[in-house]
Amino acid sequence: MANSSVQAIPNLILTTAKQGVKTTCPYCGVGCGVQVRNENEKMSLVGDAKHPANFGKLCIKGKNLLDTIDNSNRMPMPIVNNEEATWDNALDYVADGFKQCIEKYGPDSVAFYVSGQLLTEDYYVANKLMKGFIGSANIDTNSRLCMSSAVAAHKRAFGEDVVPMSYSDITKSDLIVICGSNLAWCHPIIYKRIREEKAKRANLKVVVIDPRYTASCEIADLHLAIAAGGDLVLFNGLLNYLANQGLIEAELLNSNDQGLTRALELAAIDSEKLSAIGLSQHSILKFFELFAESEKVVTLFSQGINQAEQGVDQGNAIINCHIASAKIGKQGSGPFSITGQPNAMGGREVGALCNTLAGHIEFNDSHLYPALEGFWHTKNIARKPGLKAVELFDAMDNGTIKAIWIMATNPALSMPDINKVTSALAKCPLVVVSDCVANNDTLAFANVKLPAHSWGEKSGTVTNSERRISRQRGFLTPFGHAKADWWIISQVAMRMGFKDAFNYQHESEIFAEHSALSGLANNGSRAFDISAFKKITQQQYSDFTPIQWPQCDSHSKVINDQLLFADKQFYTPSKKAQLIAVQSNKFNSNTSDIDRAVFTLNTGRLRDHWHTQTRTAKSALLSNHYPEPLVEINPQDAQALAITDQSLVSLKSRLGEVVVRASISSLQKMGNVFMPIHWTSLQSAQGGVCQIIEPIVDPISGQPAFKHSQVSMSAFASGSEALLLVRERLTQQFGFYQVEQKVEQGYCYHIASNKPPRMLLEHLQIFIKTLLDNTEPSVWAEDDKGCYYRYCYYQNGGVEAGIFVGEKKVELPQGWISHFFQQDNNNLAKRQVLTANVEAMSQQKIFCQCLKISYDQVTQALKTTANIDKIRELTGAGNGCGSCIGDISLLLAVNNHASNLYYDAAISRVELKAAALAG
Ligand code: SF4
């Protein structure tokens, strides 16, 4: 077991339970089970071997969860107007504020903005309060930003938001298409399952459709480096191909389905654009043939499809191909939307998207209103959809929304056009934020701050991407006076006058009610039915084991691998699946889709960080993978703009500017740049990508198009760069650019300044002298030209601070810096810090975190072989959690310059292999 998975935790409440607590990872939608144990007053964490999502495996983020548990940046008490308050006072203040607003301006003047980090029980009471008792549908979740397009596509095709797939389908499939997802980094355990399956079955083919060469391409037989926004044309082209080959399901053809006719017409029109989406004819044909010839196909899709101007249409184009070729309703076959957040699916179940009423009951199910009123004992049910996320903040900006409650999310950073969002928050008379942190970009605007439970303290349920409901269980004493979200919401609801409906004593009561509601007047009319749990007791809830929905009251339980739509019965009025006619509005011959003066900005996630780093920034190990916000640029684009690797770059849109580090990579497509989403003003004032993203949304789902913004780019000059290492977090700013990185036993600040190196050094020296009570540097080195400096400060036999200054970032020792405070206190070690060459120091950066294999070891192995498994054998890298296997493939791709072939000629890996054989 890696050291990082064993921690001494001060507020551990488990004392002797050897078997520990089974809970779920709080990061991605894979929903892995973890087991936390108390072993000799040290907490350990391992994957839950019995959890069907992961069977004991964890990725690097899950494996290092304990690293991220501490009580820094927590709020012990509620805060009202900047003063600590009792819970009674704070809850009264919130309830009175919302009541007054509703009385004066009506129910639509208030709103809740909630989160996929909430548990289903929290979500349920928030939705019940807003839609059932306040009488407005102004509740939307941040899941709107990641998968609401898939939700809308499901509803259009299936009549209900149903993901029909299970992870086990991967093991039964002939072809897996990974589309708009860097699965290897964003959903690593699903990726690992595919990788293992592919190693077992040589005939399992994998196609990756992504503008970039990502870590996921390592297992691809065919990588289609498609032009941004080309997916709709590609899948319409596939539908047209299936029709031309006579491969449309006979039953569908014979039914004279009008949806099919129209969908085929538009698919034929879009097929004319196939030559414009950046792929060779041969690659496209290869993909079409693979799809057509494979009996069982799983198409995994995620944010790359959903976060687009036509995200819903893109989802339906994928689903159309599966319906038309009868590749759905069979084990190993179907469209599989992978959710981003741990409980995005739970939010969808309760109705926390503003356009669903509750429990998969829609607003147009008006015949169910009386039943729902009876169930909730209310007469005040919302009758129309509320405002979607972007609309909601627009309404706040124009004064329509006068009170908002934001729960467990940070919209001041994560929404598009954050300048507008922050302006709206500043104008809103009542901003309530409940969260497990004390400071973030959004909390800065809150009149009322409510301390909520964090992961490890929370108790409830979550639903993962394969519809599997699992328990999250608490194993820590809640910090200070923090409370469960469901408790906070219920207390406010009772103070607003709804005592009987919200008088819950335990989260299991909420789960039972939610389960009962799912069965309300259902009788098979809605797939989401978990009424089997409507009488669940507290003990049964405590013992709850992971299970997929549906779980109807009347059926016996099927725990795993439930096959939906096998009977070809869907939830549309006709009970048939609907083909939706969709057409791309891009790549039209009479318009120019490519303006060479601007770049298409693609956004996404890195391997070791999660969303806004609330948790992962606390881990030195996770922070060291990518310590700074960056932009990935193709070498030819960089050369044309005189941008060098690791220099600073300005990206601008109409809305603003960000300054980030250049990462020049031949794996990036020309004309496109990529930026990760993770940096907030807490770590970097300059790196928040949402500052430059236009609030363009899909017209149906309202999901922002985070994937295809247009930006300009230029080199950004600095006078000097520095690394400042200190034991404690700083609030001071030393340059126009500054990024905080957690390192082992301290912090590293990456600084860029307009000053020349000598002046920046002096500035930092003065600061350190003050910080360390006039301590002088113990060892230092300078170059002859006065441009490069290394200073180390020792106190009481240990290193306490370090300053490294140069003209350029590439001159500074990076990667190695993560272990600065762990260096030996002997003369040899001190001399090495001063004399070692930067390249050698950087090569000491850890590549494989589990087994502590350095970059140097891996790059040495790369010189001897290009075989990933051989490199693993030689070095051990990738033999722990496996998260770095994709990184080996990225190093290989760059080393071999193979990536240029992928992009320049759109030659697929299959083609390359074929060419090699022919040669
Ligand atoms: Fe957590 Fe997702 Fe990693 Fe599983 S794959 S351990 S759920 S981050």
pLDDT for the residue 14:
55
Q: Match 């990456």 to its residue by tokens.
A: 750
Using the structure block, give the residue that is written with the tokens 């074929």: 914
pLDDT range class, residue 894, cuts 50, 70, 90: confident
- Give residue 676 CA to ligand 1 midpoint distance, Å: 18
Q: What's the pLDDT at 399? A: 96
Compute how many other C-beta atoms are within 10 angstroms of the C-beta atom of residue 696. Answer: 16
Distance CA 642, CA 150 (A): 40
Per-chain mean pLDDT for the chain: 90
Is pLDDT at 793 greater than 50 in this prediction? yes
d(CA 781, CA 802): 12
Confidence grade of residue 919 (pLDDT, cut at 50, 70, 90): very low
Atom of ligand 1 at shortest range from CA of 47: 6
User: What are the start-end ranges of the H helices in 204-257?
Assistant: 231-244, 250-254
**Eight-class DSSP state of 791:** E
pLDDT of residue 831: 83
Ligand 1 in reach of 27 Cβ (< 6 A): yes
Cis geometry, peptide bond prior to residue 676 (ω within 30 degrees of 0): no
- Per-residue pLDDT reduced to its tens digit, 150-206: 999 999 999 999 999 999 999 999 999 999 999 999 999 999 999 999 999 999 999
143-164 pLDDT, tens digit per residue, is 898 889 999 999 999 999 999 9
Q: Which atom of ligand 1 is nearest to the CA of 190?
A: 5
Q: Which residue has the higher pLDDT, 899 or 344?
A: 344
- What's the average model confidence in pLDDT over 304-325? 96
Q: Which atom of ligand 1 is nearest to the CA of 58?
A: 6
**The pLDDT of residue 68 is above 80:** yes
Q: Is the CB of 79 under 6 A from ligand 1?
A: no
Q: Is the CB of 881 under 6 A from ligand 1?
A: no
Whether the per-residue pLDDT at 102 is higher than 70: the answer is yes
Question: Per-residue pLDDT averaged across 15-44, rounded?
Answer: 84
Cα gap 369→60, rounded to integer Å: 46
Distance 843 CA to ligand 1 centre (A): 28
How does DSSP classify residue 340?
A: S
Q: Is the distance from CB of 684 to CB of 740 less than 8 angstroms? A: yes
Q: Which residues of 638-671 are buried (b: 16+ CB within 10 A; e: fewer)?
A: beeeebeebbbbbbbbebeebbbbbbbbbbbbeb
- Assess whether the C-beta atom of 59 lies below 6 angstroms from ligand 1: yes
User: What's the pLDDT band for 122 if we cut at 50, 70, 90?
Assistant: very high
Tens-place pLDDT, residues 69-83: 888 889 999 999 999
pLDDT at 529 over 50: yes
pLDDT for position 838: 87
What token pair was written down for 906? 């759109």
When pLDDT is cut at 50, 70 and 90, the band that residue 902 belongs to is very low
For the record, the structure tokens of 763 come out as: 């500035």
Ligand 1 atom at shortest distance from the alpha carbon of 610: 8
Q: Which residue's C-alpha comes closest to atom 3 of ligand 1?
A: 59
Distance 775 CA to ligand 1 centre (A): 45
The answer to whether 368 and 521 have CB atoms below 8 angstroms apart is yes
If you measure from the C-alpha of residue 654 to the centroid of ligand 1, how many angstroms do you get, rounded to a whole number? 36
Q: What is the pLDDT of residue 436?
A: 94
Name residue 761's amino acid: L
d(CA 672, CA 611): 22
Check residue 906 and give its pLDDT. Answer: 33
pLDDT confidence of 56, banded at 50, 70, 90? very high
Pocket lining: 28 vs ligand 1, CB cutoff 6 Å: yes
Look up residue 894 and give its two tokens.
């760059």
At 616, the amino acid letter reads T
Q: Which of 4, 5, 24, 28 to mutate to test the pocket of ligand 1 (most atoms within 8 A of CB)?
A: 28
Residues 465-506: tens digit of each pLDDT: 999 999 999 988 899 999 999 999 999 999 999 999 999 999
**Residue burial 321-341, b: 16+ Cβ < 10 Å; e: rest:** bbbbbbbbbbbbbbbbbbbbb
Question: 31 in ligand 1 pocket by Cβ < 6 Å?
Answer: yes
First-to-last C-alpha distance (Å) of the chain: 46
Q: Report the 10 Å Cβ neighbour count for 396.
A: 26
Strand bridging mode 139-141 / 110-114: parallel
- In angstroms, what is the span from residue 541 Cα to ligand 1's centroid? 23
Q: Best mutation site among 32, 67, 194, 615 for ligand 1, i.e. most ligand atoms within 8 A of its Cβ?
A: 32
Q: Who has greater pLDDT, 405 or 617?
A: 405
Q: Give Cα 289 to chain centroid, integer Å.
A: 32
Chain-centre distance for alpha carbon 564: 27
Q: Look at residue 236 in the predicted model and tell me its pLDDT.
A: 98
- Contacts of residue 140, Cβ cutoff 8 Å, sequence gap at least 6: 111, 112, 113, 114, 352, 353, 354, 386, 387, 388, 389, 392
Distance 395 CA to ligand 1 centre (A): 36
Question: pLDDT: is 231 or 839 the higher one?
Answer: 231
Q: Which residue has the higher pLDDT, 846 or 108?
A: 108
Residues 689 and 676: beta-carbon distance below 8 Å: yes
* Per-residue pLDDT at 7: 59
Which atom of ligand 1 is nearest to 188's Cα? 5
By percentage, how much of the chain surpasses pLDDT 70? 94
Task: Look up tokens 């790359």; give the residue.
Answer: 304
Q: Is 455 in the pocket of ligand 1 (CB under 6 A)?
A: no
Question: Is ligand 1 within 6 A of the CB of residue 58?
Answer: yes
For the beta sheet containing 334-337, the strands, ordered from the edge strand earlier in sequence to the opposite edge, are 222-224, 205-209, 175-179, 297-301, 334-337
Distance 207 CA to ligand 1 centre (A): 23
Phi/psi of residue 595, nearest 5 degrees: -105, 115
**350 pLDDT more than 60:** yes
The per-residue pLDDT for 823 is 84
DSSP state for residue 658 in the 8-state scheme: E
User: How many helices, marked H, and strands, marked E, lie in the chain?
Assistant: 30, 35
Q: How far is it, in rounded angstroms, from Cα 676 to Cα 603?
A: 5
Q: Is 882 in the pocket of ligand 1 (CB under 6 A)?
A: no
What integer is the mean pLDDT of 286-304?
A: 97
Confirm or reject: Cβ of 62 under 6 Å from ligand 1.
yes
Atom of ligand 1 nearest to the CA of 34: 6
Residues, the chain, total?
919
| Residue that is written with structure tokens 């208030």 in the block | 110
**Strand (E) positions, 302-422?**
334-337, 356-358, 361-362, 403-407
Under 8 Å CB-to-CB from 821, ≥6 apart: which residues?
A: 725, 727, 743, 744, 745, 746, 798, 799
For residue 680, is pLDDT > 80? no
Mutating to test ligand 1, I would choose from 30, 34, 57, 616 the residue with most ligand atoms within 8 A of its C-beta, which is 30
Taking the centre of ligand 1 as the mean of its atom positions, its distance from the CA of residue 880, in whole angstroms, is 15
Residue 189 beta carbon below 6 angstroms from any ligand 1 atom: yes
> What does the DSSP 8-state code read for residue 701?
T
610 C-alpha to ligand 1 centroid (Å): 10
C-alpha dist (Å) from residue 881 to 144, 185, 398, 853, 890: 31, 12, 49, 13, 17
Which of 294-303, 385-394, 529-538, 653-662 shows the lowest mean pLDDT across its residues? 653-662
CB-ligand 1 contact for 821 (6 Å cutoff): no
| pLDDT (0 to 100) of residue 910 | 33
The CA 30 to ligand 1 mean position distance, Å, reads 6
Give all strands of the β-sheet with 79-80 in edge-to-edge order: 83-84, 79-80, 448-451, 430-435, 403-407, 110-114, 139-141
Amino acid at 602: N
Does 898 score more than 50 pLDDT?
A: no
Residue 841, pLDDT > 90, answer no
359 falls in which pLDDT band (50, 70, 90)?
very high
Q: Are 677 and 740 in contact (CB under 8 A)?
A: no
pLDDT at residue 87 greater than cutoff 60: yes
Residue with tokens 């020049």: 664
Ligand 1 atom with minimal separation from the 24 CA:
7
Please report which helix (H) or strand (E) contains residue 798, including its range.
strand 798-806
C-alpha 34 to ligand 1 mean position (Å): 10
Question: Which residue has the least CA distance to atom 6 on ligand 1?
Answer: 62
Task: Please determine, for residue 842, whether its predicted confidence score (pLDDT) is greater than 90.
Answer: no
What is the average pLDDT across 85-112? 98
Is 916 in contact with 910 (CB distance < 8 Å)? no
Looking at residue 5, its pLDDT comes to 55
Q: Tell me which residue of 505, 526, 150, 496 sits closest to 368, measured CA to CA.
A: 526
Q: Strands 403-407 and 361-362: what pairing?
A: unpaired
Report the pLDDT averaged over residues 829-834: 83
- SS3 per residue for 662-674: EEECCCCCCCEEE
Contact 61 CB / ligand 1 (< 6 Å) = yes
Whose Cα sits closest to atom 4 in ligand 1? 32
Pocket mutation for ligand 1, best pick of 4, 5, 27, 610 (most atoms within 8 Å of C-beta) = 27
CA–centroid distance, 607 to ligand 1, in Å, is: 11
In whole angstroms, how far apart are CA 128 and each of 370, 402, 739? Answer: 15, 20, 41
pLDDT of residue 899 exceeding 60, the answer is no
**pLDDT of 741-753, one tens digit each?**
999 999 999 999 9
Distance 462 CA to ligand 1 centre (A): 13
The pLDDT-based confidence of 835 (bands split at 50, 70, 90) is confident
Query: Among 660, 638, 778, which residue's Cα sits nearest to residue 716?
Result: 660
40 is written with which tokens?
Answer: 């000799």
Range from 20-34, 478-492, 819-833 carrying the lowest mean pLDDT: 819-833
Given a cut of 90, whether residue 17 has pLDDT beyond it is no
Residue 478: both structure tokens together: 């809640």
Residue among 4, 22, 25 whose CB has most ligand 1 atoms within 8 A, to mutate: 25
Residue 693 Cβ contacting ligand 1 at under 6 Å: no
Residue 4: pLDDT above 70? no
Rounded to 10 degrees, what is the CA torsion of 653, 654, 656, 659? 20
To test ligand 1's pocket by mutation, which of 23, 64, 187 has the most ligand atoms within 8 angstroms of CB? 187
Ligand 1: centre distance to CA 468 (Å): 14
